[in-house]
Structure 1
Amino acid sequence: MRLTTIRRQLTFLVVATTLLVLVAFFLPLVATVRSISADDKVTQAAVEAESLVPLLMSEEPETFTLSLDSLAAGETDTYSVFLPDGRVLGDAAERSDAVRLAQHGYSLVAEVPGGREVLLSMIGRQEGPIVVRAFVSDTVMYEGVSEALATLGLLGLLLLLIGVLVTFLMASRLTSPLRELAEVSRRLGRGDLGARARGGGAAELVEVAAALNYLARRISELVKGERERIADLSHRLRTPLTALRLEADLLEDTTERAKLNETIDTVETTVTDAIKTVRGGDSEPERCDAAVVIAERMEFWSVLAGEQGRSITGCTASPPLPVAASSAELADAFDVLISNIFSHTPDGTDFAVTLTPRPAGGAVLEVTDDGPGFADTRVRRGRSGGGSSGLGLDIVRRVTETSGGRLTLGSAPSGGALIRAELGPP
């Protein structure tokens, strides 16, 4: 599931809050605008109707029909005059309950279907009360309300857009330091120990950046110290190697002396490579021909296997078989696998070595033996069930995973150990 970004969360929060505020103000405002418009139109109709009062009080009703027609041509819909004798002047209208109430001397505004009617009761004529009725339709009462509401809606939309824009800018200012911290963390994870965060933004983010920079400095110091200790240890190994070489030169058997010097050369080369690696010097390119390397190491181990009565079976692919590992790393990993057989199985235990091309590129190295097998098929650094340091198989795992492959442990058909090391292509 994709995680929601901080920017999206803040934008959603501002939009939701702004909409709630706008709705809370807009709905009462709509009712207020409609009420003001209706009251204004009704008041205007009442004023126009009152302008007839002097005429009705001084003239005969039949003489001001013209005045009613002129008023009806205005904004209101109709004007009617209810006479005491039952006649209706002006626009025809029913004698509703409100009209009958007005004939008793009450002036009022009544809600009727389609609008409102303003009723003025005039008392003073001998014939009885006269009622002037002005009808204001809903169309006239709410004329212009839609335009006003549309203007308010556009204003609300503008406020919403401004809020989103401000939120976007604030979120960008907030998340920019976070993205920088994430990038520095990724660079540190890739091994770039010189990566540092500039810091910025809120005080909390500045504090996090300072803590991350402190952590990067401490990691650099620890790694540097560890590399120096390993380099010093590797360098100190040269002294006993030199002594061992001098002892080998004293051997009278030239064959044994040559074998021992060859072994000493191999150990010295390994020590030199270790010093170069931990000091960051030039190292061998991360590729080699696995078929050539395995064939050379098989030839080396076959001599010791013959002395202990072990038989070696299996097959290796023909060169070239390129893999993404240096020849020294691959040779070390193979030596670990074979030395484990010699260390943890009795003399005379047979084993097999198979090297085949990997379908996706690279190679697959399988080593099986007829020994007791694994009690635990998990590769855990520093833990071993055979009394060793527990680092051997972890070295093999690192070489395989660095090349793009993997290491798996299992059981051979004979019940012994099965080690499958997949090596990726260069």
Structure 2
Amino acid sequence: MTLTTIRRQLMSLVVLIILLVLVAFFLPLVATVRSISADESVAQTVVEAESLVPILMREDTETLALSVDSLAAREADTFSVFLPSGRVLGDSAARSDAVRLAERGYSLVAEVPGGREVLLSVIVRNDGPVVVRAFVSDSVMYEGVNVALATLALLAFLLLLIGVLVTFPLATRLTRPLLELSEVSRRLGRGDLAARARGGGAVELVEVAAALNSLARRISELVKGERERIADLSHRLRTPLTALRLEADLLEDQTERTKVNRTIDQVESTVTDAIKIVRSGDTGPGTCDATVVIAERMEFWSVLAAEQGRSIGGEITPGPLPVATSSAELADAFDVLISNIFSHTPGGTDFSVTLVPQPGGGAVLEVADNGPGFADTRVRRGRSGGGSSGLGLDIVRRVTEVSGGHLTLGTAPSGGALVRAELGPP
């Protein structure tokens, strides 16, 4: 889960909570606004209907009819008066169940399709009560409610917007320490042991930052000590190499003396490169021309192969073939592969070396022999079926993987061992 996702989820949670609060607050408020508007309209209509009561008490039927017509024309509601005789004054209206109930002496407000009926039962004659009916439509009852609801909706939107605007910097402030910890972890993974987290935010994040910094310091100390030990060990190898060179100079055979000195030079160069690498702390891949390196090492090994009666096949594609590894690393890896053939196959066993370009860049190095082959095609550090240290093929694997490629062990067409090393481009 990325920090952007965390920030988005945090903001979504806050927005959801705000929406729930707004819904819980505004739904009852909307119902209350509608109820208040309807009650006010009905109460106003009741007052208007009651204004006819004095007229019912004093005036005759014709005067009452004029008053009802005047009131109906002046107000938006419709007014009707049901007389005991069955005559209806004012606006025509059906004699509903509510009207019949009012004719029995009950005053009430009834819900009807499209609005409400306000019914007043007034007893003014001996022949029965007079019913004053006023109809209040929904449009009249809820007039202005839509404007109020729009205002409430706008207020809710503003509150939601303010919540988002407040939440965004808060979410950023909460996730910034996590982003810093993530970046420091990535830098440590890339080998930048100087990376440190400043810490901040919640107490738990501060503790995590402190633990990460402590781990980084401990790793730095361990790596520094390891580099110093490797450098010291490599430097100590110079003394026996110097003694070996002096011994080689005493050889009477010029050819043997030259061959031994060349081997010593190679070992000394490898030791020097090792010292430089551990001193500088550079563990990243270098670059080299694979054709030049392999051709040079083939020239070295071809002499020993000729002495043991081994024929060398294969093909080395003319360069340049740039790969993402240093010349020293590639030479060491190639020497491991060839020395394994000399160590684990009988004299006279033929082998082949093939170096071809890889589609997309880089190169593919294949070394095959006519020996007994691999008993186990898995590369496991420190384990070998041939009585060796088991580190050789692991060195080759590391070189290929650091370059961006990979190592594959298999069986050659002759039944012998096949090593395929894919080297990535710079």
Helix, strand or coil at the partner of 2:280:
coil
| Structure 1 residue identity aligned to 2:133 | R
Q: Which residue of 2 aligns with 1:143?
A: 143
Q: Does 1:173 align with 2:148?
A: no
Q: Which residue of 2 aligns with 1:85?
A: 85
Q: Deviations over 1:114-152 (max 9, x none)?
A: 222212122243454222222212221121122222222
| Structure 1 residue identity aligned to 2:373 | G
Q: Which residue of 2 aligns with 1:51?
A: 51
Helix, strand or coil at the partner of 1:346:
coil
Q: Does 1:72 align with 2:72?
A: yes
Q: Does 1:211 align with 2:214?
A: no
| Structure 1 residue identity aligned to 2:340 | N
Aligned pairs for 1:11-410 (under 5 A) are: 11-280=11-280, 286-410=286-410
Helix, strand or coil at the partner of 1:23:
helix
| Structure 2 residue identity aligned to 1:328 | A
Q: CA 1:235/1:137 → structure 2, altered by over 3 Å: closer, same or farther?
A: same
**Aligned partners of 2:3, 2:196: CA distance in 1, in Å?**
26
1:108, 1:120 within 8 Å by CA — same for their partners in 2? yes
Computed over aligned residues only, the root mean square deviation of the Cα atoms, in angstroms, reads 2.4
Q: Deviations over 1:323-350 (max 9, x none)?
A: 3332222221111001001111122221
Helix, strand or coil at the partner of 1:279:
helix
Q: CA 1:386/1:49 → structure 2, altered by over 3 Å: closer, same or farther?
A: same
Greater shift in the superposed pair: 98-107 or 173-182: 98-107
**Aligned partners of 1:89, 1:313: CA distance in 2, in Å?**
123
Greater shift in the superposed pair: 1-10 or 169-178: 1-10
**Aligned partners of 1:250, 1:190: CA distance in 2, in Å?**
49
| Structure 1 residue identity aligned to 2:329 | E
Q: CA 1:294/1:87 → structure 2, altered by over 3 Å: closer, same or farther?
A: closer
| Structure 2 residue identity aligned to 1:102 | A
1:116, 1:137 within 8 Å by CA — same for their partners in 2? yes
Q: Deviations over 1:15-57 (max 9, x none)?
A: 3333333333333333322222222111111111112212221
Greater shift in the superposed pair: 30-39 or 14-23: 14-23
Greater shift in the superposed pair: 22-31 or 166-175: 22-31
Helix, strand or coil at the partner of 2:84:
coil
> TM-score by structure 2 length?
0.93
**Aligned partners of 1:333, 1:130: CA distance in 2, in Å?**
116
**Aligned partners of 1:282, 1:93: CA distance in 2, in Å?**
100
Greater shift in the superposed pair: 227-236 or 214-223: 214-223
Helix, strand or coil at the partner of 1:164:
helix
**Aligned partners of 1:156, 1:314: CA distance in 2, in Å?**
79
**Aligned partners of 2:282, 2:310: CA distance in 1, in Å?**
39
**Aligned partners of 1:281, 1:18: CA distance in 2, in Å?**
54
Shift of 1:226: 0.5
Greater shift in the superposed pair: 225-234 or 92-101: 92-101
1:76, 1:135 within 8 Å by CA — same for their partners in 2? no
5+ residue gaps, structure 2: none
| Structure 2 residue identity aligned to 1:414 | S
| Structure 1 residue identity aligned to 2:265 | D
Q: CA 1:153/1:262 → structure 2, altered by over 3 Å: closer, same or farther?
A: same
Shift of 1:159: 2.1
**Aligned partners of 2:140, 2:281: CA distance in 1, in Å?**
92
Helix, strand or coil at the partner of 2:420:
strand
Q: CA 1:97/1:322 → structure 2, altered by over 3 Å: closer, same or farther?
A: closer
How many matched pairs? 426
| Structure 2 residue identity aligned to 1:390 | G
Q: CA 1:44/1:33 → structure 2, altered by over 3 Å: closer, same or farther?
A: same
Helix, strand or coil at the partner of 1:92:
coil
**Aligned partners of 1:335, 1:113: CA distance in 2, in Å?**
99
Helix, strand or coil at the partner of 1:315:
strand
Q: Which residue of 1 aligns with 2:421?
A: 421
| Structure 1 residue identity aligned to 2:72 | A
1:383, 1:390 within 8 Å by CA — same for their partners in 2? yes
**Aligned partners of 2:383, 2:22: CA distance in 1, in Å?**
66
**Aligned partners of 2:214, 2:87: CA distance in 1, in Å?**
100
Q: CA 1:405/1:97 → structure 2, altered by over 3 Å: closer, same or farther?
A: closer
**Aligned partners of 2:116, 2:285: CA distance in 1, in Å?**
96
> TM-score by structure 1 length?
0.93
2:284, 2:402 within 8 Å by CA — same for their partners in 1? no
Helix, strand or coil at the partner of 2:325:
coil
**Aligned partners of 1:130, 1:292: CA distance in 2, in Å?**
120
Shift of 1:76: 4.1
Q: CA 1:138/1:358 → structure 2, altered by over 3 Å: closer, same or farther?
A: closer
1:76, 1:134 within 8 Å by CA — same for their partners in 2? no
Helix, strand or coil at the partner of 1:300:
helix
Shift of 1:2: 9.0
**Aligned partners of 1:28, 1:258: CA distance in 2, in Å?**
101
